[in-house]
Structure 1
Amino acid sequence: MSAPWHVQRMAALDFECSDKEPTTARAVQCALILVGGGLNTDMSAWTINPGIAQEPGAIAVHGLTDEYLAEHGQDPEPALGAIAKSVAEVVAAGIPLVGHNIGFDLTLLNAECQRHLGDSLEGICRQPLTRVLDTMVLDKHAAPYRRRVSETQGPYQMRTTAEVYGLGWDEEQAHGASYDALMSVRAVYKMGVIAHTRPEDRPDWVQALRNRRGPYDRFNDLAFVDVEELHRRQVVWAREDAASYQAWLRNPAKSGEKHNPDAVIDGTWPLRQAGGAS
C-alpha cells in the first residue's frame, strides 16, 4: 500500500500577476517548489516582464512595479515556456500540484500558454490535470462556515488558513510567489496529518467544528484516499461552494449590500475555461 497522500512528493505552484482576472491577467512572478517524499527540496522561480501596465491593486499586493519588472523580468515567451515545461514534467511524473486557490493559478497559466505558446496547459502536458490539491477548496470543505478574521482578512485567504493550521506567518515575505507556494504545501501537509489522525485525537478546534456543525467530521473526507480520488472530490466541492455563494448573492435577505440577482459564480475547477485569451 502506498504512503498517505500528504507525505508523498508534491509540487507547490504559485503566481503573482497583473490583475485579479486569471483569464486576462499576465504572470509577473512564479514559483514551483518540489518538497517531501524523502527527497531534497527543489525550488524554481521566475520573474517576468509582462510588457503591459499592471493594475495598481496588483502592485499593492505583490510589490513588483512595472519599472522593476522592465529591468529585472524575463520576456514572457521564454519564461512561460520554461514554466510550462517544468509543470509538464511534474504532471508526467505523477506528482500532485499544490497551491492555495490554485484554480486561479492554473487558469492564469493556461491563458498564458494559449497567449504565448499557442497551446493549452493540458495540451502542453499532453494529459488532463487529475492530481491537484487546492488548500482553499480543502479548507472550505473540511472547516466550513469560518468567519472573517477582520475587515481586511478573509476567512479562507492564505494567511488565515496558515494561522488556523498552526503555521507561522511573515507578512513582509507574504505575497511573493515562493513564500506563498511554500506556505500552501505546508498547509496541505497539516490538513493531511489531521485527516489521518483518529477523530477523537484531532485538535480541539476540529472537535469544536464537529460539535457545532453536526456529528460528522469532514476531515474524514480527506482520509485514506489517493490523490486522484481527492482531486475528483474537490471538483464536486468547488462546484457546490460556487453554487452556494451564487445563491447567497441572489438572496437579498442574506447578501444585503452585496445582493446581485444576476450573479453567476463559475464553479469549474481546477481549470476555468475562457472564451479566449486576450
Structure 2
Amino acid sequence: MTWHLGRLTGFDLETTGVDVETDRIVTACVVQVGAGQPAQIANWMSDVDGVEIPAGATAVHGITTEQARADGRPAAEVVEQVVAALAEAALGGAPIVAMNAAFDLTMLDREARRHRVMPLADRVGDQLRVIDPRVLDKEIDRFRRGGRKLEDLCRTYGVRLDGAHSADADAIAACRVAWRIASTKPKVGGASLDDLHAWQVQWAREQAEGLADYFRRTPGKEQQEDGVRGDWPYIPAQRADGDAS
C-alpha cells in the first residue's frame, strides 16, 4: 500500500513569533487522519511560560497572553505531550506531515531542550519520516507564480481549509494537500517513505540554495541571504545560531 493511503499524522504549531531560537509555542495540534478511519485530533494550549504574546502574533492566531495564561497548560507539560504523541506516531511507522516542517520541528526541538524534555529526534532516531507539502510543491511545480503558503497550496490543489492559522485546521489541511499531491503525482505517491524523506532533504537544500542565490542577485535583498537555511526537516541544535539550550 502506498504511504498516502495509510494513516497520516498532521502536526502544526502556532507561536509567539517566527524565531525558532527564542519564540515559544502557543498552541499545538497532532492529528491522525486517513486510511478510512475517523480523524483523531489532539490540541494543546500552552501558558507560554510567562512570555508575552506579541500583538502581531495574536492577530494571526487569535490567542492573547491573558487567554494563554488563563486557559493554557504548563509549557513543559505541553511540550512533553506533543513530543510523545509525535514519537508514538513515528515509531509506529506513520509519516509526520507538516507544512514548512523545518520551522515547526525546530521550534518543538528548542522548546523541548528549554524545558528539559527529550527531543523528538533523540526519541525516534532514524525512524522519523516527514512529509512537507511546501517542499513537495516547490519541487513538482517549480515555476508556478504566486505564493506558497498553506492557503495558496489549498487553492492550488483544491483542498478545503477550515479556519486558517488555527493549529488543528492547518494540520488537517497539510495532510489533505499531501494526499492530493501524492494522488496526482506518481513520483511522490509511488515512492517509499524512506526514499521520499531522503529526496526532500535534498530538495529542501536545493530550494534554499536557489532562494539564497535570488537574494544575493536582487538589489536591496542581499542581506536576507544570511537567514536562509537548507536544513530539513529541522535545524540541528548544535548548528543553530544562538543558545538552543
TM-score by length of 2: 0.92
Deviations 1:204-234 (A, max 9, x none): xxxxxxxxxxxxxxxx3x2421111100000
What letter matches 2:33 in structure 1?
Answer: V
Q: CA deviation at 1:248?
A: 1.0
Shift in CA distance, 59/128, structure 1 to aligned 2, threshold 3 Å: farther
Give the secondary-structure state (helix, strand or coil) at the position aligned to 2:200.
Answer: helix
Q: Distance in 2 between matches of 1:8 and 1:131?
A: 14
Q: Distance in 1 between matches of 2:185 and 2:244?
A: 38
What letter matches 2:150 in structure 1?
Answer: M
Q: Distance in 1 between matches of 2:216 and 2:196?
A: 30
Give the secondary-structure state (helix, strand or coil) at the position aligned to 1:108.
Answer: helix
Q: Distance in 2 between matches of 1:261 and 1:89?
A: 37
Deviations 1:49-91 (A, max 9, x none): 1120123321111110101111111111111111111111111
Give the secondary-structure state (helix, strand or coil) at the position aligned to 2:223.
Answer: coil
Q: Which residue of 1 aligns with 2:69?
A: 70
Aligned pairs for 1:57-96 (under 5 A) are 57-96=56-95
Gaps (5+ residues) in structure 2? none
What letter matches 2:9 in structure 1?
Answer: A
Aligned pairs for 1:1-278 (under 5 A) are 3-50=1-48, 51-123=50-122, 125-128=123-126, 130-148=128-146, 155-170=147-162, 173-196=163-186, 220=187, 222-251=188-217, 255-260=218-223, 263-273=226-236, 274=240, 275-277=242-244
Shift in CA distance, 241/166, structure 1 to aligned 2, threshold 3 Å: same
Q: Is the 8 A contact 2:101 2:232 kept in 1?
A: no
Give the secondary-structure state (helix, strand or coil) at the position aligned to 2:83.
Answer: helix
Deviations 1:110-154 (A, max 9, x none): 00110112433212x242353100000001111112222xxxxxx
What letter matches 1:250 in structure 2?
Answer: R
Deviations 1:246-268 (A, max 9, x none): 111111xxx23323386352100
Q: Is the 8 A contact 1:130 1:228 kept in 2?
A: no
What letter matches 1:182 in structure 2?
Answer: I
Q: Distance in 1 between matches of 2:52 and 2:90?
A: 32
Q: Percent identity?
A: 30
Q: Is the 8 A contact 1:47 1:73 kept in 2?
A: yes
Root mean square deviation, CA, Å: 1.6
Deviations 1:175-212 (A, max 9, x none): 0000000000000000011013xxxxxxxxxxxxxxxx
Q: CA deviation at 1:99?
A: 1.4
Q: Is the 8 A contact 2:97 2:174 kept in 1?
A: yes
Q: CA deviation at 1:39?
A: 2.6
Shift in CA distance, 261/119, structure 1 to aligned 2, threshold 3 Å: closer
What letter matches 1:266 in structure 2?
Answer: R
Q: Distance in 2 between matches of 1:261 and 1:19?
A: 18
Shift in CA distance, 81/145, structure 1 to aligned 2, threshold 3 Å: same
Q: Distance in 2 between matches of 1:256 and 1:164?
A: 30
Q: Distance in 2 between matches of 1:35 and 1:186?
A: 9
Q: Distance in 1 between matches of 2:225 and 2:94?
A: 39
What letter matches 1:163 in structure 2?
Answer: R
Q: Distance in 1 between matches of 2:118 and 2:158?
A: 40
Moved more, 109-118 or 51-60: 51-60
Shift in CA distance, 36/233, structure 1 to aligned 2, threshold 3 Å: same
Shift in CA distance, 56/9, structure 1 to aligned 2, threshold 3 Å: same
Q: Is the 8 A contact 1:12 1:33 kept in 2?
A: yes
Give the total of aligned pairs.
Answer: 240
Max Rg structure? 1
